[in-house]
């Protein structure tokens, strides 16, 4: 039997509670349902990246073949390589 989750007066109080308590004592995670939050966007941060002009032109050619903006294609390439390196 799980413990009852207390009522919190603020988000700060709740955050402090969960920082010091194990959620498995309060929630049966085996009964949890997967939730897809499709409208959420990841936080983005603008960076400056210096690339050789020839590389940018090649990237634009590849992006044009796929009919996507070259910045989007660059993000796809980076994401694939990061995933590959982490596995």
Please check whether residue 56 lies inside any domain of the structure.
yes
Please check whether residue 62 lies inside any domain of the structure.
yes
In SS3 terms, the chain reads as CCCCCCCCCCHHHHHHHHHHCCHHHCCCHHHCCCCCCCCCCCCCCCCCCCCCHHHHHHHHHHHHHHCCCHHHHHHHHHHHHHHHHHC
Please check whether residue 82 lies inside any domain of the structure.
yes
In the predicted model, what is the mean pLDDT of the chain? 93
Please check whether residue 44 lies inside any domain of the structure.
no
pLDDT of residue 25: 93
Q: Which of 10-19, 35-44, 62-71 has the lowest mean pLDDT?
A: 35-44
Is the model's pLDDT at 1 over the cut of 80?
Answer: no
pLDDT of residue 34: 87
- If one counts the domains in the chain, the total is 1
Expressed as residue numbers, the domain containing 83 is 49-87
pLDDT of residue 40: 84
What's the sign of the alpha-carbon dihedral 13, 15, 21, 27? positive
Please check whether residue 61 lies inside any domain of the structure.
yes
């Amino acid at each position: 039997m799980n413990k009852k989750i207390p009522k919190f007066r603020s988000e700060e109080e709740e955050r402090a509670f969960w920082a010091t308590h194990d959620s498995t004592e309060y929630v049966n995670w085996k009964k949890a349902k997967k939730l897809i939050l499709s409208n959420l966007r990841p936080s983005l941060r603008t960076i400056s990246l210096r690339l050789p002009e020839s590389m940018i032109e090649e990237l634009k050619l590849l992006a044009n073949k796929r009919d996507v903006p070259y910045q989007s294609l660059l993000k796809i390439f980076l994401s694939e390589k990061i995933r590959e390196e982490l596995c």
